[in-house]
C-alpha cells in the first residue's frame, strides 16, 4: 500500500494506465505531470473528470451531486 509506483511510462501501474487512457489533462496530454493529479470516478467505474494539482477537494465536491 505504501510502495512507490510509476504513474507514467511503460512501467506505469495498471490503475494509472486506465485512468490516463480515459481522461487526458486540459492540454490533451495523458501523462501525469505533477503530484496530486486527481480523478473523479462515478459509481459504475467510469472516469468522469480529471483535475490538476491546483484544484482543491472542495472544488471537486461541487461536482459530486452531478455524478451520484
Domain contains 38: yes
Q: Which three cell numbers stand for residue 63?
A: 461536482
- Model-level pTM? 0.83
User: Considering the domain boundaries, does residue 3 fall inside one?
Assistant: no
pLDDT of residue 35: 84
Cβ atoms of 24 and 50 closer than 8 Å: yes
Q: How many domains does the chain have?
A: 1
DSSP for residue 56: -
pLDDT at 57 over 70: yes
Exposed, middle or buried, 20 (CB in 10 Å: 0-12/13-18/19+)?
buried
- 29 CB-side CA count, 13 A: 9
Structural domain that includes position 36: 14-67
Amino acid at each position: 500500500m505504501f510502495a512507490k509506483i510509476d504513474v507514467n511510462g511503460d512501467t506505469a501501474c495498471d490503475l494509472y494506465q486506465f485512468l490516463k487512457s480515459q481522461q487526458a489533462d486540459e492540454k490533451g496530454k495523458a501523462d501525469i505531470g505533477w503530484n496530486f493529479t486527481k480523478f473523479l470516478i462515478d459509481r459504475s467505474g467510469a472516469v468522469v473528470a480529471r483535475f490538476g494539482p491546483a484544484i482543491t477537494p472542495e472544488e471537486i465536491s461541487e461536482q459530486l451531486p452531478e455524478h451520484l
